[in-house]
Amino acid sequence: MTNAEKAIPENPEAILRLYIAGTSPSSRQAEQKFQGLIALMKAGAGRVEVIDVLASPDLAERAGILATPTLCYEYSGRCRRIVGDLGDFKKILAFLGIEMKGEAP
């Protein structure tokens, strides 16, 4: 299967969620990296949300979030997750199947 076949089609109903825990240094760093990731995404990849699991534990429980930071891309009834470091934008977008609009730093 080629990368083109694995790619997720543009989907305005898709949601990219970052689950964090409060304002800890790792949560702030994850939010900063998330913003960098969003800046590289092509338009049409879907909505973005940041969910603080300490403020909304019910949302985290419903999503089955066991660790933070967790990045979850929900599309067409599926979910792809990445837990931990969000530093390699190119690899993350490739794993999620989201096209970049430019080159990753």
Nearest to 17 by CA among 68, 91, 87, 88: 68
Q: Is residue 7 part of a domain?
A: no
Give residues with Cβ within 8 angstroms of 16, minimum separation 6: 38, 41, 45, 46, 47, 48, 49, 71, 72, 73, 74, 96, 98
Domain presence at residue 13:
no
Q: Pick the residue with more confidence: 100 or 2?
A: 100
Range of the domain at 85: 18-96
Does residue 103 sit within a domain?
A: no
pLDDT value of position 11: 59
Using alpha carbons only, what angle is made at residue 58 by residues 56 and 63, rounded to the nearest 5 degrees? 105
Q: What is the pLDDT of residues 30-60, one digit of tens each?
A: 999 999 888 888 766 778 999 999 999 999 9
For residue 91, the domain's CATH number is: 3.40.30.10
Structural domain contains residue 3: no
Whose structure tokens read 């800046």?
A: 39
pLDDT digits (tens, 9 = 90+) for 79-94: 899 999 898 888 998 8
Does residue 104 lie within any of the structural domains? no
Number of domains in the chain: 1
Predicted confidence (pLDDT) at residue 104 exceeds the cutoff of 60: no
Examine residue 38 and state whether it is found in any structural domain, yes or no.
Answer: yes
In a domain, 26, yes or no: yes
6: pLDDT strictly greater than 50: no
Query: Does residue 25 form part of some domain?
Result: yes
